[in-house]
Chains A and B, each alone.
Chain A
């Protein structure tokens, strides 16, 4: 634990107090276990990459690396958002439906209201922030438990996204409920968010969605680990009462976490709309489940045993590598959910059993 924890002042003291005697007593065996805990999951990931590279054609290529990232970019962004709520000890079940509602909103703004890309993006972000704010207010001031509040919000949004079009999906040239034809189109600038590719050593390699994922991952990682605000969020999550006694505005931190989660989910929805080029009626439940899985797998990365942005990003990447690798090997789709579940269970066992034995 020594070297790595130095910058994290708040954790340092309590960890030291608990672990000092043990470290002194059984250093050699603990050393091995520490390495296993810290790097085991990354080693597993590396092993899988090597395996798929040998087992399939085309896995070991820059293009494959990019589309694996692309396949998890949307769930990854949602997962980073839900990580923020996990950090404050909450949970957000509404992220999947925020994403699909924001996709519908983007399509509606452009196709029906005939607005440009910027307006569509701003409307989506505003919806995400507003829903997050409402979630936070309900949880903090109405004292509704987080799971229930966000579950309710999920159902509400699944219904709400259908109301403006009476249950129709939105596409350019669609027929409106009153029988007229929608005149607007998806603006090329908006579609570029999902389809433009940046040059990165190879021309036209990296899709915009991957860039967004990487930027957001770095931002939220820095925010949670190195800013006072982020550290306070961890403090609220580990012991809200203690944080409150220490004078922290606990509710404000929690509400901010839900706002972050909502905004991230709406960014995911924007990218989804840009990739599909239309607004699809969808519950987003699969997005929710995949995102939560990525965030939970992230607990096991580097032996963190707590929600953390780096782990979430690696968790999303892990799921992407496994699923895309299996698809390339022509493994049937139903086994993929099984494998996803198995990865999650192993990661959770890894986190809680191994770390538990380590004296926490």
Chain B
């Protein structure tokens, strides 16, 4: 940097505080080092996955929190190239950044690169990739909690005894974790009977699942609940239930959410009654906050879990929520997570 960092940092903090009605900026001086001069702090986001709504939203969360802190953010995107992602960590080390967020990736390729960063005195956090390093906190969205919230809602709506169809594909880590919860629930509530299990990841997934689900509901007309713990599955099941004219008799419970899912849940007479989801933007914010805590010499804990929110059809209809932005605005618990929020931490502005 060719400027005087100290002056630039103060100037930037002052401008942001004045210009953006940024509540915490007035107290920038109260932030612990190194955030008393946030313009001097540089962090890097090293991404493995970036295509798709979820990852776009995650990035927006990272950007918002970095801006709230006033730190500089560099985004390095390896576009699903594991070797390149490891090289990018080395690149970030060479650039002399203060902190690194590793977003996804493969344990095998990232483990050593992450260790090199730690050895270079750089603080590192990892989201959804296990780099097997005690010095690196893991940011997680809890898949078990996602499944638990959806299933508790199903129990609440339908009692403790019902016939269920279950959509599952083994070998996908988040789906496997959600499956553990389903297995627990079946043991806990003996009245739950899984009469059919199906699922496929042939894309377009919703179309393939719709074909399967159509057969399942025809062969098992007594199914009351469909547990589809992934929104593409739920979308497919909904298409099949609609086509079979069974929307009144079947309720769909799922996980994850997107703008398209919101409109599907809100269609008149939709069988898709509830979904449990974590806001990817919030996960992005939490990733940066956990890193900031480490830079300030605090300990966010080894596992930083972002809690999911249950979103029901009634809520969406009652508050007339049409897309993800409105969901964040109208369901505060979805827009915020009280995770990694020490008193000094500035939060991104909310409208």
Contacts and interface: CB of A to CB of B under 8 A. Distances in A.
Given A162-B51, A333-B169, A280 B323 contact: no
A168 B323 contact: no
B204 A67 contact: no
B76 interface: no
Contact of B219 (A56, A166, A181, A195): A56
Interface centre among B218, B239, B322, B323 (most CB of A within 10 A): B218
A266 interface: no
Interface stretch (A170-178, A235-243, A302-310): A170-178
B239 A64 contact: no
B181 interface: no
Given A181-B325, A281-B51, A333-B212, A286 B202 contact: yes
Interface residues on A, range: 35 or more
A276 B243 contact: no
A323 B239 contact: no
B263 interface: yes
A330 B263 contact: no
Nearest to B324: A175
A101 interface: no
Interface residues of B, number: 45
A174 B260 CA distance: 7
Interface string A60-82: 01011001001100100000000
B295 interface: no
A192 to B, nearest CB: 13
Contact of A275 (B52, B53, B207, B244): B207
A263 B188 CA distance: 54
A167 B219 contact: no
A160 to B, nearest CB: 14
B210 A327 contact: no
B200 interface: yes
A70 B103 CA distance: 41
A330 B242 CA distance: 21
Contacts of A323: 211
Interface centre among A275, A325, A333 (most CB of B within 10 A): A333
B268 to A, nearest CB: 13
Contact of B260 (A204, A278, A284, A329): A278
Given A100-B204, A272-B204, A327-B212, A174 B51 contact: no
Contact of A276 (B197, B215, B235, B324): B235
Contact of B203 (A195, A277, A284): A284
Contacts of A285: 203
A167 B52 contact: yes
Interface string B53-64: 100100000000
A312 interface: no
Interface string B198-217: 11101111111011101110
B259 A173 contact: yes
A58 interface: yes
Contacts of A130: none
Nearest to B202: A286
B342 interface: no
A332 B200 CA distance: 10
Given A275-B207, A286-B208, A67 B53 contact: no
B221 interface: yes
B80 to A, nearest CB: 12
B216 A275 contact: no
A324 interface: yes
A102 interface: no
A328 interface: yes
A115 to B, nearest CB: 19
Interface of A: 56-59, 61, 63-64, 67, 70-71, 74, 100, 103, 162, 166-169, 171-175, 181, 195, 204, 207, 272, 275-278, 280-286, 323-325, 327-330, 332-333, 336
7 contacts: A56-B219, A172-B260, A174-B259, A277-B264, A280-B205, A282-B204, A333-B199
